[in-house]
A and B are shown apart, each in its own frame.
Chain A
Amino acid sequence: MATAISGLQNYNESFSGFEKAAAGRELSWLRELRKSGFARFSETGFPTTRDEDWRFTNPAAIAQTHFRLVRNGHSLPSKDELARFRVPGAGCQAVFVDGNFAPQLSTIGKLPAGVTVASLAVELARNPGAVEPHLGRYLDLQRDAFGALNTAFLEDGAFVHVAKGTIVEKPIALLFVSTAHDAPTVSYPRNLIVVEENSQLTIMEDYVSLGGGEALCNTVTELVAGDHSVVSHYMIEREHVKTYNVSTLRIQQGRSADVASHSVLIGGALVRNNVHPVLKGEGGECLINGLFIGNGRQHLDNYMLVEHASPHCASRQFYNGILGDRAHGVFHGRIIVHKDAQKTDAKQTNRNLLLSDTAQIDTKPQLEIYADDVKCTHGATIGQIEESALFYLRSRGIDEAAARTLLLVAFASECLDRMKEGPVRTHVERLVQEQALRMAVISHPMEQRDQKQ
């Protein structure tokens, strides 16, 4: 208990310093928003495993670490250092270093008419009227202490706006780089993505790290999908294995909006990915597709809260997990069907592949249905690589590591196939292929030794 309180004391000092210097401090609504975030966080502190929503994930390591807040003014990585994180075929790439927009490293180029990709801090200074109606209006501070903390420290991140009736053909890439070296650092990226009525957008958040230090990335994205919009959102976590990443994607869907959320968790020591769509308008469709691949002692927690608030909406959750060594995965899929959301069609599937006896998965469906004419299904499976499949491939000349890689990619491909073909999917496929190869080799150190002898 003593550690928890001294931990909060650090946040107190950090917040009072931040509040006085933060961008947009002259905006009273923003000051209030930050204060309400911090007040909520002070009330509850960090969650513990006694909280039902955190039963399988212990954030004590985050609560006990003294993270330093990184703001503007530190040295930036070079363009060359970031070269390997570029995504071929993307329409633009906005780069954020430790949460702060880095225009020198970004390639925004010429965007189609009606599309804005900017720094939230800049937008707050330039055009706060575009931000105010949405920022902080969707995230529920009561639900999650991390979201409250992000709101307290919100300052920069991406502001993306797509005007009514605009089709954005090339994907927009947001790259979040953490550069921690020595002392542990924290960043609070805050993204606001507003897609107006009848528009289409594909957007990717890509989290990477340079330097090998401990870091916490506590990120929140509010995504507003207007009536009849079509939006694909990708979240890719591939930071190194000393980082903590807690992310929340809060989606607000309008009438007949079609949203796909794809999460790919590959990196990080402790990762918690919250996806929270609210199907607010009638006839909306939401696909929540995820893939998590963990090794070593990685802990990858996928938490979903799907709220059906209107009739005739459909949601699909599909998550596949591959876990090796001592990795721990969590799938917590909660579906709430509100009283008026008749004719809801909600489906949830979680499939897992465990590559070792010490890998672990906790999978928990949670359906709360207050309407009486709905269709909700859920299912989960846990399996291993089948010896018969492995032998079949090997009997055709494919060596064991390659055969294992093929089977892992095949298992992952269920999720990859749900992504629309294009530059982002190609990018994800490459990452998954690389990770599968590493897993196939690492999860069988004995056989690797044999081959060397």
Chain B
Amino acid sequence: MSLLEIKDLKVRVDDREILKGINLKLNAGEVHSIMGPNGSGKSTLAQVLARRETYEVTGGQVLFEGKDLLAMKPEEAACEGLFLAFQYPVEIPGISNAYFLRSALNAIRKYRGQEEMDAMDFLPKLREKLKLLDMDEKLLNRSVNEAFSGGEKKRNEILQMAVLEPKLAILDETDSGLDIDALRIVAQGVNAMRNPGRTMLVVTHYQRLLNYIVPDYVHVLVDGRIVKSGGPELALDLEDKGYGTFEAGASA
């Protein structure tokens, strides 16, 4: 059984069809990349999988470990082991980063019937992950993402992923807005989490990120459909030729 199986998924936003029948299979331990131009539906796919309710699913099915993902609430999907690293992480004034992380971890542990973690046990675990991402401990006491730089926000997403240890991590344009140094650190954090039990779906516009996080498979998403799938070499091909040839093909 695949970890994630998407069958003919169709999604609409405000009377506009964004996803027009997506089919995709991800097995445990695989890293897949979805590449596509702006407006092709990449972020919509990521958000629908994380169960954002503002999108209307009009057709198709998604199975996550054989369970109906589209029937889950966002918190249920998270507790089942799905994680979305946001393209635009949300600022939440008044909630400290450390408190937020522990609340999230404990919500998931509780769902799985595990004991909740107190602050004393949690902090050492958190410190270790901070080191991995070269993050300042001061960020823990600040409000979630508030007044974080672009790079800090993206690192904070990966920090959350490292703490929550998902089965499926969806990285939505994690490279956008990062300089090359920050990109290396983020990629290093992601790579450290690669293991046979963890699947990743890396959504990106550019090929550069894939130099650092090398995928097993690459899929090209254009105008709401996957128009081509292949190995990592497909990404390099796209870097050379651009999406133009596919876009022409998609509209034909």
Chain A residues close to B by CB (< 8 Å): 386-389, 391-400, 402-403, 406-407, 409-414
Candidates B50, B54, B83, B104; contact of A398 at CB < 8 Å? B104
**A397 close to B104 (CB less than 8 A):** yes
Q: For B93, give the chain A residue with the smallest CB separation.
A: A410
**B73 close to A394 (CB less than 8 A):** yes
User: How far does the alpha carbon of A392 sit from the alpha carbon of B89 in the complex, in Å?
Assistant: 8
The contact string, 1 if C-beta is below 8 Å from chain A, for chain B 87-115, is 00110111100001001110110010000
**A396 close to B104 (CB less than 8 A):** yes
Residues of B contacting A410 in the complex (Cβ-Cβ under 8 angstroms): 92-95, 143
Residues of A contacting B125 in the complex (Cβ-Cβ under 8 angstroms): none
Candidates A388, A398, A407; contact of B107 at CB < 8 Å? A398
User: How far does the alpha carbon of A406 sit from the alpha carbon of B84 in the complex, in Å?
Assistant: 20
**B107 close to A397 (CB less than 8 A):** yes
Interface window among B2-10, B34-42, B74-82, B177-185? B74-82
Given A397-B107, A399-B107, residue A407 in contact with residue B92 (CB < 8 A)? yes
Candidates A387, A388, A396, A407; contact of B160 at CB < 8 Å? A396
Chain B residues bordering chain A, tally (CB within 8 A):
30
Residues of A contacting B92 in the complex (Cβ-Cβ under 8 angstroms): 389, 392-393, 407, 410
Given A406-B103, A410-B94, residue A399 in contact with residue B89 (CB < 8 A)? no
**B74 close to A391 (CB less than 8 A):** yes
**A394 close to B78 (CB less than 8 A):** yes
**A400 close to B90 (CB less than 8 A):** no
The contact string, 1 if C-beta is below 8 Å from chain A, for chain B 46-57, is 000011111000
Chain B residues close to A by CB (< 8 Å): 50-54, 73-75, 77-79, 83-84, 86, 89-90, 92-95, 100, 103-105, 107-108, 111, 143, 160, 164
Least Cβ–Cβ distance between A440 and chain B, in angstroms? 14
**Given A392-B92, A394-B73, 11 further pairs, Cβ under 8 A:** A386-B90, A391-B90, A394-B75, A395-B50, A396-B75, A396-B100, A397-B164, A398-B107, A406-B103, A410-B95, A412-B94
User: How far does the alpha carbon of A395 sit from the alpha carbon of B84 in the complex, in Å?
Assistant: 7
**B89 close to A395 (CB less than 8 A):** no
Given A387-B54, A389-B90, A411-B94, residue A397 in contact with residue B73 (CB < 8 A)? no
**B103 close to A391 (CB less than 8 A):** no
Least Cβ–Cβ distance between A394 and chain B, in angstroms? 4
Residues of A contacting B108 in the complex (Cβ-Cβ under 8 angstroms): 397
Q: For B91, give the chain A residue with the smallest CB separation.
A: A389
**B79 close to A400 (CB less than 8 A):** no
Least Cβ–Cβ distance between A208 and chain B, in angstroms? 27
Least Cβ–Cβ distance between B101 and chain A, in angstroms? 8
**B73 close to A391 (CB less than 8 A):** no
**A396 close to B164 (CB less than 8 A):** yes
**A391 close to B52 (CB less than 8 A):** yes
Residues of A contacting B77 in the complex (Cβ-Cβ under 8 angstroms): 395
| The 5 nearest A-B residue pairs measured at CB | A410-B94, A396-B104, A397-B78, A394-B74, A392-B90
**A398 close to B75 (CB less than 8 A):** yes
User: How far does the alpha carbon of A402 sit from the alpha carbon of B95 in the complex, in Å?
Assistant: 13
User: How far does the alpha carbon of A396 sit from the alpha carbon of B99 in the complex, in Å?
Assistant: 13
User: How far does the alpha carbon of A91 sit from the alpha carbon of B93 in the complex, in Å?
Assistant: 34
User: How far does the alpha carbon of A389 sit from the alpha carbon of B144 in the complex, in Å?
Assistant: 10
Residues of B contacting A388 in the complex (Cβ-Cβ under 8 angstroms): 90
**A409 close to B94 (CB less than 8 A):** yes
User: How far does the alpha carbon of A414 sit from the alpha carbon of B146 in the complex, in Å?
Assistant: 14
Residues of B contacting A412 in the complex (Cβ-Cβ under 8 angstroms): 94
**B75 close to A399 (CB less than 8 A):** yes
**B74 close to A395 (CB less than 8 A):** yes
Can you list 16 residue pairs at the A/B interface with Cβ under 8 Å? A386-B90, A387-B54, A393-B92, A393-B104, A394-B78, A395-B52, A395-B75, A395-B78, A395-B83, A396-B100, A397-B108, A398-B107, A399-B107, A400-B75, A403-B75, A410-B95
Residues of B contacting A414 in the complex (Cβ-Cβ under 8 angstroms): 93-94
